[in-house]
Amino acid sequence: MKISYKREKIADGIHFNSIRNASLKTNSIVVNLVSPLSEETASLNAAASYFITDSSSDYPTLVDISSKLEELYGASLKGTVCRSGDNQFISIICSCINDRFAFEKENVTVELAKVLLSCLTDPHLDEKGFYEQDFALKKQELLDDIDAVINEKRSYAVQRAGKVIYKGEPAAVSVKGERSSAEKITNSSAYEQYMTMLKTAQIEVFFVGANEPDSIKEFICSGLSKLERDYKGDCSSKLSAIKAEPEEFTDELEVAQCKMVLAFKSDKADLRAAKLMNAIFGATPFSKLFLNVREKLSLCYYCSSNYNDLKGVITVDSGVEKANIEKAKDEIIRQFELMQKGEFDEKEINEARLAVINSLRSVNDSAAGLVNWYSGQIFRNTSFSPEDEIEMLEKVTKEDIVEAAKSFKLDTVYVLKGKESAENE
Amino acid sequence: MNKEVIRNARTGEEYTLIKHPTGLDIYVWKMDNFSTTHALFGTKYGSINTKFKTKNDPDFVTVPNGIAHYLEHKLFENEDCDVFSLYAKTGASANAYTSFDRTCYLFTTTSNVYESLEILLNFVQSPYFTEETVRKEQGIIGQEIRMYDDNAGWRVFFNMLQGMYHNHPVKIDIAGTVESIAQINADLLYKCYYTFYNLNNMVLSIAGDVDVDKVLEVCDKCLKQNENIELETAFEDEPETVCEKEVVQKLEIAMPMFNIGFKAKPESGLAALKAEIETNFVLSLIANESSEFYKKLYDEGIINSTFYSEVFCGDGYFCSIFGGEARDPRLVCDKIVEEIDRCKREGLDKKRFNTIKKAYYGSLIKGLDDAENLATIMLNNGMEGLSAFDRIEAVADCTFEDVTNRLMKQFNTENVTLSIIDPVNGREEK
């Protein structure tokens, strides 16, 4: 399939990325506002992401904007906040049908771009900042969401573990900030920080669709080039510091199942070798962790690993009975040591490689996959296509993988334990 | 072999249905220039099918809860190896799931499609269970059940179903309980396997840039002839009323969660699809983000953006659900009941109907880019004897009168169950 990718500078630290895939029936526009994670701004930025997509000065209420989107054949427009490495991404993600499917062949995509731009650059304000009445609800929602992290025990454990794994680094900052700082936000402080973000953030606009996005690009460029800018260009991530001795940390909650998260760190692993090492170790259902910790020893329903190359960290997360915590931990570490000793064969390497390549080949099929991929390239200062990446993965040898495994060291053991009272229920 | 191309003028899309001589229905949607292929091999057998009979059984047989899901786990083990290790050679990413009324085995791949298809067809047709391998799975599934015990979103939904249904097995957790799965043995698994994994009761569905003839070549080679065993499933009679009006549980969460379910009479086939679509229109008109009702509750802080509504329906069950997080779920429930009664008296907002229709249609068009979505639609609709385009056509044909009738018929504000999950430590209200 022919995919064309083009990146153009619109203004200082602002780029328009267009990705064309002739097969797609959906058009997508994504705007990423990227800045370093920090305790001071995390919740302020998050609050803005909650506010800006539910209204704008053209569409002052949620009913106005939702009705407009319904009119555009159920176009979607969502604000999200997430992390990548040491950065916080505030994103507006939109999609709509290709105009050719519209009943009257209306210009659905350009209309959607107009709504997007009005949300981004022309929010609904009052004399102090974001329109107070609506903002108060959004702030409450942010607080509720910060509190609600506890609802999903698996992700809660991973987030709590992150605090220990990345202690002292921007990556340790909760992506929506702490409750205490979120409580202090006002409509004027959030607006002020939003204006700062528009000035200083790295802004990456993506269009993904079947047609040349000329009219959309023109429209968005004219809107964004008017922004006052003071871009610092400081959005690189640093590898995580390795602790001298592994740190053990335990939380207690009333849960039926305990969660355990282990982190291994490296400050010099080769990206592709580490990717394959991670796949052999724990990222597939034929990995060492799945076959041994789950299938052979029946210790867990899930036990899998994940590699964060921007931080140089492999995390293993698992759900396990209290009585089996030590057993599971020993087995996970033992399996990692086997990787370091090179106790895996060509078959395992080739199967892991095939699985990684398989997922790379599917990148081109969806807007989310494409945006994610090319955004990742930008923050790694590379411009490889998924096909280039596949070519490099083909060249990785067993020696490279062992070398990568050896460079990792156990750094953190986090356990979320059930309280005694929950044991007998 | 009967091969038919099903076309849709509205979208310009098409797929092929093949009635294979073994009894299997095969659906293929060719997606030109896409890299990903998604394949599903499914049986019309889920957690609710615990009571059944074939022409070889003198009477109806009842089996332990959770057995369909258990069987799904165990099929992944061949006599000599684990199925994942076979897929590892093709690079396909494989999985399976059990729902209330289906069990599906699937793979997604960007290479070696036909080799992967061969693996899929072969392992699903080759059961191998021993007492020892069955016992081993109890630890893993036990942990899966425990994980869901802590999942508030899952619990709030099942507690609602338990409150709503007196007898229908949809109220039983898909994986069963630690106690019910302890009764499962190899003989029972074989019994269920040979009853439900009969190709006459199954569907194969593939979407991707594939060649129909090559798919059929693999099918001809791998599919085994199946005798039609005249399978019948049965459920206990289910009263129209709900069993309990309110169910409350406590878990470690931050804010109360709720599901409010309106129980309605189930239908089947095309009538069920129409009922589902019309009910979705009703829900959007009453309470989606562009409704005045949503705005009012939202502005008053009674609901937040986690609020949603959906239709939940299948063989013998149908309900409309409003869910989300709220400080006072009982107040949300009262407001919804009030609003439904008001709409019944004063009528729905006709002006918004056409806009909602456009949005509904748009969401279905967006789904055409996704191989997994297309394969799933063909399978789901195929199992109900419907075409994959029936939904898009029914949406386009739906009228305001249909939707109004549905509101009058489907929303009995007496038949409501409210399920609440409260935080273990009630937060202080500010």
**Tens digit of each residue's pLDDT (9 = 90 or more) over B59-103:** 999 999 999 999 999 998 887 778 988 999 999 999 999 999 999
> What value does the mean pLDDT take over residues A110-121?
96
CA distance B33 to chain A (A): 5
Say how many domains are in chain B: 2
In a domain, B241, yes or no: no
Nearest to A137 among B82, B301, B368 (CB): B301
Do A240 and A166 form a contact (C-beta atoms < 8 A)? yes
Q: Do B81 and B207 sit in the same domain of this protein?
A: yes
Query: What are A119's two structure tokens?
Result: 């949300």
Does B409 lie in the same domain as B283? yes
List Cα–Cα distances, A357 to A19, A361, A391, B68, B402, in angstroms.
21, 6, 9, 33, 49
Q: Which one of A1, A144, A256 has the shortest CB-CB distance to B35?
A: A1
Interface probe for A, chosen from B251, B296, B355 (most Cβ of A below 10 Å), is B355
Average pLDDT over residues A288-304: 86
Of the pLDDT bands very low, low, confident and very high (cuts 50, 70, 90), residue B405 is very high
Cβ–Cβ < 8 Å for B153, B83: no
B118 within some domain: yes
Q: Which structural domain, as residue segments, surrounds residue B92?
A: 2-233
For position B278, which CATH number holds? 3.30.830.10
pLDDT digits (tens, 9 = 90+) for B2-28: 899 999 998 999 999 999 999 999 999
**Catalytic positions of B, written as ranges:** 72
Provide mean pLDDT across the span A43-52: 97
- How close, in Å, is residue B423 to chain A by CA atoms? 10
Q: What's the pLDDT at B342?
A: 97
Token reading at A140: 């409450």
Mutation target to probe the A interface, by most A beta carbons within 10 A, among B178, B358, B360 is: B358
Task: Chain A: give the shortest CA distance to residue B27, in Å.
Answer: 21
- Residue B344, pLDDT score: 96
Q: Does A357 touch chain B (CB under 8 A)?
A: yes
The stretch A2-13 carries a mean pLDDT of 92
Q: Is residue B95 situated within a structural domain?
A: yes
pLDDT of residue A212: 85
Mark whether B219 and B280 lie in a shared domain.
no
Q: Write out chain B residues lying below 8 Å of A257, CB-based.
A: 143, 146-147, 149-150
Q: Do B362 and A153 touch (CB under 8 A)?
A: no
Residues 6+ apart with CB under 8 A from B325: A144, A148, B255, B256, B257, B258, B304, B306
Q: Which of B207, B233, B259 lies at the terminal end of a domain, its last residue?
A: B233
Does pLDDT of A249 surpass 50? yes
pLDDT (tens digit, 9 = 90+) per residue, B248-257? 999 989 899 9
Average pLDDT of chain B is: 94
Identify the domain boundary among B233, B256, B275: B233
Q: Which residues of B touch A140 (CB under 8 A)?
A: 301, 304
Query: How many contacts, defined by CB atoms under 8 Å, are there between A and B?
Result: 187
**Is pLDDT of B204 > 80?**
yes
Residue B269 has pLDDT above 50, yes or no: yes
Rounded to two decimals, the ipTM of the complex is 0.84
Residues B269 and B415 in one domain: yes
Residue B136: the pLDDT is: 85
Give the other-Cβ count within 10 Å of B216's Cβ: 18
A253 closest CA partner among A322, A176, A187: A322
> Given an 8 Å threshold on Cβ–Cβ distance, is B143 in contact with A321?
yes
Question: Encoding tokens for residue B117?
Answer: 């298809």
Give tens-digit pLDDT for B369-381: 999 999 999 999 9
Indicate yes or no: CB of B361 within 8 angstroms of CB of A74: yes
Among B233, B257, B276, the domain boundary falls at B233
Give the pLDDT score at B430. Answer: 32
Does A251 lie at the interface with B, CB-CB under 8 angstroms? no
Name the band, by pLDDT with cuts 50, 70 and 90, for residue B121.
very high
> Which of A49, A61, A97 to mutate to probe the B interface, most B CBs <10 Å?
A97
CB of A340 less than 8 A from some CB of B: no
Q: How confident is the model at residue A1 (pLDDT cuts 50, 70, 90)?
A: low
B207 and B320 part of one domain: no
pLDDT exceeds cutoff 90 at A126? yes
**Which of B366, B424, B429 should be substituted to probe chain A, the one whose Cβ sees the most A Cβ atoms within 10 Å?**
B366
pLDDT value, residue B426: 60
- A23 → closest Cβ in B33, B146, B366: B33
Using CB atoms within 10 Å of the CB of residue A243, give its burial: 0 to 12 exposed, 13 to 18 middle, 19+ buried.
middle
Per-residue pLDDT at B30 exceeds 60: yes
Which residues, 6 or more positions from B4, have their beta carbon under 8 angstroms from its beta carbon? B16, B17, B18
Residues B49 and B188 in one domain: yes
pLDDT at B224 over 60: yes
In chain A, the percentage of residues whose pLDDT exceeds 90 is 87
* Per-residue pLDDT band at B428 (split at 50, 70, 90): very low
Residues of chain A in contact with residue B369, where contact means CB-CB under 8 angstroms, are: 23-26, 365-366
The answer on B175 and B88 residing in a single domain is yes
Q: How confident is the model at residue A209 (pLDDT cuts 50, 70, 90)?
A: very high
Nearest CB among B31, B94, B136 relative to A298 is that of B136
Which candidate from A61, A74, A320 shows the least CB-CB separation from B362? Answer: A74
Neighbours of B183 (CB within 10 A): 13
Residue B16 lies in a domain: yes
**pLDDT on residue B45:** 97
Nearest-10 crossing angle of helices B390-397, B350-366: 160
Tell me the whole-structure pTM to 2 decimals: 0.89
How close, in Å, is residue A255 to chain B by CA atoms? 6
CB within 8 Å: B362 and A73 = yes
Residue B333 placed within a domain: yes
Task: Note whether residue B279 is domain-resident.
Answer: yes
Q: Chain B closest CA to A113's CA: distance in Å?
A: 17
Query: Does pLDDT of A425 surpass 60?
Result: no
Q: For residue A150, give the chain B residue with the closest CA.
A: B253
Annotate B281-318 with b (16+ C-beta within 10 A) or e (fewer).
Answer: bbbbbbbbbbbebbbebbeeebbbbebebebbbbbbbb
pLDDT at B427: 46
Residue B273 and residue B367 in one domain: yes
Which positions 125-144 of A are in contact with B (Cβ < 8 Å)?
Answer: 133, 137, 140-141, 144
> Chain B closest CA to A346's CA: distance in Å?
12
Please report whether residue B15 resides in a domain.
Answer: yes
How much is the average pLDDT of A351-378?
95
Pick the closest to residue B124 from B87, B99, B174 (CA basis): B87
Residue B239 lies inside a defined structural domain of this protein: no
HEC assignment per residue over chain B: CEEEEEEECCCCEEEEEEECCCCCEEEEEECCCCCCEEEEEEECCCCCCCEEECCCCCCCEECCCCHHHHHHHHHCECCCCEHHHHHHCCCCEEEEEECCCCEEEEEEECCCHHHHHHHHHHHHCCCCCCHHHHHHHHHHHHHHHHHHHCCHHHHHHHHHHHHHCCCCHHHCCCCCCHHHHHCCCHHHHHHHHHHHCCHHHEEEEEEECCCHHHHHHHHHHHCCCCCCCCCEECCCCCCCCCCCCEEEEEECCCCCEEEEEEECCCCCHHHHHHHHHHHHHHHHHHHCCCCHHHHHHHHCCCCCCCCEEEEEEECCEEEEEEEEECCCHHHHHHHHHHHHHHHHHHCCCHHHHHHHHHHHHHHHHHHHHCHHHHHHHHHHHHHCCCCCCHHHHHHHHCCHHHHHHHHHHHCCCCCEEEEEEEECCCCCCC
Q: Same structural domain for residues B207 and B126?
A: yes
For position B81, what pLDDT does the model report? 76
Using DSSP bridges, classify how beta strands B13-19 and B2-8 pair: parallel, antiparallel or unpaired.
antiparallel
What digits encode the pLDDT tens for the residues A129-177? 999 999 999 999 999 999 989 888 999 999 999 999 999 999 999 999 9
Nearest CB among B152, B325, B366 relative to A97 is that of B366
Over residues B320-336, mean pLDDT: 97
**The token pair that represents A223 in the structure block:** 């809107």
Q: Which domains does chain A have, with CATH numbers?
A: 3-224 (3.30.830.10), 247-423 (3.30.830.10)
Provide, as residue numbers in chain B, all residues whose Cβ is less than 8 Å from the Cβ of A359: 93
Measure in Å the smallest separation between the Cα of A226 and chain B Cα atoms.
31
* CA distances from residue A336 to A33, A68, A99, A281, A296 in whole angstroms, order as listed: 37, 53, 52, 7, 16
> Which backbone phi and psi does A235 adopt, to 5 degrees?
-105, 40
Could you say which of A141, A255, A319 has the minimum Cβ distance to residue B305? Answer: A141
Q: Which residue of B has its CA nearest to A252?
A: B252
How far is Cα A261 from Cα A163, in angstroms, rounded to an integer?
A: 12
> What are the chain B neighbours of A354 within 8 Å (beta carbons)?
88-91, 111
- Which residues are within 8 A (CB) of B201 and not within 5 positions of it... i.e. 6 or more apart? B43, B44, B45, B231
A147 contacts in B (CB within 8 Å)? 254-255, 427
- pLDDT for A421: 52
> Looking at the structure, do residues B213 and B253 belong to the same domain, yes or no?
no
Average pLDDT over residues B120-148: 90
Kindly state whether A368 is in contact with chain B, defined as any CB-CB distance less than 8 angstroms: no
- B-chain CB neighbours of A73 within 8 Å are 358-359, 361-362, 365
Same domain? For B35 and B148 the reply is yes
Rounded to an integer, the average pLDDT of A262-282 is 97
Is residue B181 domain-shared with residue B319, that is, in the same domain? Answer: no
Distance from CA of A331 to the nearest CA of B (A): 16
Chain A residues with CB-CB distance to B207 below 8 A: none
**CB pair distance less than 8 Å for A319 and B147:** yes
